[in-house]
Structure 1
Amino acid sequence: MSRDIWDPVTYAVYADERSRPFIELISRVGAVAPDYVVDAGCGSGELTVELGNRWPEATIEGFDSSPAMITKARKLETPIRFAVADVAMWRPDRPMDVIISNAVLQWVPEHRDVLEHWMENLAPGGWLAFQVPGNFDAPSHVAIRELCSSRAWSDKLGGFTRGNPVGEPLEYVDMLNDGGSQADAWETTYVHILHGENPVLDWVSGTALRPILDRLDPDEQRRFKQDLAGPLAEAYPARSYGTPFPFRRIFVVAQR
């Protein structure tokens, strides 16, 4: 991407909710004493530190395409190395014992090729673990697509449609097992309880909306978010305890 669309501050608002899938993902990785561990799409690095806590003797590297995220990651007090790199272009300089990718590959159209490359670059017995959102048919994404194609926004955003960029669990199991690994996949729907005046809008502003907002000037960004707030509030009505926000995620762990 030519511009850094990621806002670490906005993304971090729901850090606890975003960390749960990462912790559950790495809990299924059976590596005992890995030498080289990689976090592909490490964001601001706080979760990468969890890899260092689990495998303190390992050399751990994190990379992300966002300079803003890596700038924040490098401020952490940790021996982990952080670098700016594109997931699709990055190459390891030696065989990996573990590679983790948390909520990144949905942004990479050719991510199936990336997965094959990562598997080829695992050390014997090495582990690949990734998690991607599986909610692209959820009301939040439907509302975004409908607004982009509306009369008010179609000139600017009518060509913006991602559809469903990820596969189903069985597809990944077939692909990885056919390649000779042992793969396991599962899915979980979290029901996050969000708070605030427009909590679902706040959530998607740090993720799904970022590429859209990057196409708009500041005034257009404000108006687009105003137009989206109503449909999201209708799709996700607030309760007395907060706003429940179901979010489906797909998990895959494979050992070479």
Structure 2
Amino acid sequence: MAFSWDPARYLGYADHRARPFHDLLAQIGAEDPSLVVDLGCGAGNLTALLPRRWPGARVLGSDSSEQMVEAARGAVGPGVELEVGDVRDWPDRGLRPDVLVSNAVLHWLPDHLDLLPGLAGTVAPGGWLAFQVPGSFGAPSHTLVTELAGRAPYAAHTGEVATMASHDPQTYLRLLADLGWEVDAWETTYSHVLTGEDPVFGWISGTGLRPTVQALPPELREQFEAELRPLLRAAYPEHGGVTVMPFRRVFVVARRP
């Protein structure tokens, strides 16, 4: 089921969401790439870091959301090219990036393990593939949404909601190593310190909650959110004016021979 993005809401926790991208970028050993591609560039605030890292490279950001690409045009500066495009169609573009980056995108494609060989195959010899995906789908921030959406009256509308999935670092490592790549794969759990009213709800409302809420008819959306908020508060209690939200992420940085 299709859904739309809200760049402003997504950027509400931009500093927290940026940390994994910085950690991913730090492990890419490319020195002087000709073409760097950000596959799923979103609002472009992180894509803007790529020409700073590699000032001599052509930098291209691609995203399937027209809203996100439009927002990115005001964030990346004149030196970055942007396009609307689907991850699944990337191999058909015929480009050969020296660095292919994908940040918090592939988990939206439940079959992305099947897609990875094709994506990796577009990278130039000696080039780099780097991506990170959330690994927190067993956390209350996700399970509570799924459980509530499965109850009446919501279940009648949420059967075709987009699902998200990711895998352990070892799974990605084996897949790419079997293709002959040198692979570094790891996981990190960030303890995000959040403030404000219902901050975990605010966090997921910009990302994983959107497909479920948009699947509901307008008259049920406020009711669903009103039921979800206290469940999240109980799962992530405030203490001393802050709420701590653990968030596991899985990273892969691989080099093609």
For structure 1, the 5+ residue unaligned runs are none
Secondary structure in 1 matching 2:87 = coil
Rounded Cα–Cα distance in structure 2 between residues aligned with 1:69 and 1:161: 18
- State the AA in 2 paired with 1:33: D
Report the equivalent of 2:211. Answer: 211
Rounded Cα–Cα distance in structure 1 between residues aligned with 2:83 and 2:140: 35
Instruction: Please say if 1:34 is aligned against 2:30.
Output: no
- How far did 1:224 drift? 1.1
- State the AA in 2 paired with 1:244: V
Shift >3 Å, 4+ stretches: 158-162
Question: Deviations 1:116-143 (Å, cap 9, x if unpaired)?
Answer: 1122111111000000000000011111
Secondary structure in 2 matching 1:24 = helix
For the 8 Å contact 1:40–1:87, the answer to whether it is kept is yes
Rounded Cα–Cα distance in structure 2 between residues aligned with 1:149 and 1:46: 35
For the 8 Å contact 1:49–1:78, the answer to whether it is kept is no
- How far did 1:165 drift? 1.3
Report the equivalent of 1:45. Answer: 44
Residues 161, 211 of structure 1: alpha-carbon distance in 2 compared, 3 angstrom cutoff: closer
Rounded Cα–Cα distance in structure 2 between residues aligned with 1:147 and 1:35: 48
- How far did 1:15 drift? 0.1
Rounded Cα–Cα distance in structure 2 between residues aligned with 1:218 and 1:196: 26
Instruction: Please say if 1:221 is aligned against 2:221.
Output: yes
Rounded Cα–Cα distance in structure 2 between residues aligned with 1:238 and 1:167: 30
- State the AA in 1 paired with 2:105: V
Across the aligned residues of Structure 1 and Structure 2, the Cα RMSD in angstroms comes to 1.5
- How far did 1:90 drift? 2.1
Given the two structures, how large is their TM-score scaled by the length of structure 2?
0.94
Report the equivalent of 1:149. Answer: 150
- How far did 1:75 drift? 2.1
Residues 190, 213 of structure 1: alpha-carbon distance in 2 compared, 3 angstrom cutoff: same
Instruction: Please say if 1:61 is aligned against 2:60.
Output: yes
Secondary structure in 2 matching 1:201 = helix
How is 1:232-247 mapped onto 2 (pairs within 5 angstroms)? 232-247=232-247
Question: Deviations 1:143-176 (Å, cap 9, x if unpaired)?
Answer: 11110111332222255483x6111110000000
Secondary structure in 1 matching 2:176 = helix
Report the equivalent of 2:172. Answer: 172
Given the two structures, how large is their TM-score scaled by the length of structure 1?
0.95
- State the AA in 2 paired with 1:110: D
Rounded Cα–Cα distance in structure 2 between residues aligned with 1:8 and 1:53: 23
For the 8 Å contact 2:41–2:62, the answer to whether it is kept is yes
Rounded Cα–Cα distance in structure 2 between residues aligned with 1:142 and 1:93: 39
Secondary structure in 2 matching 1:183 = strand
- How far did 1:74 drift? 1.3
Question: Deviations 1:198-230 (Å, cap 9, x if unpaired)?
Answer: 111111101111111221233322111111001
Aligned residues: 254
- State the AA in 1 paired with 2:210: R
- State the AA in 1 paired with 2:139: A
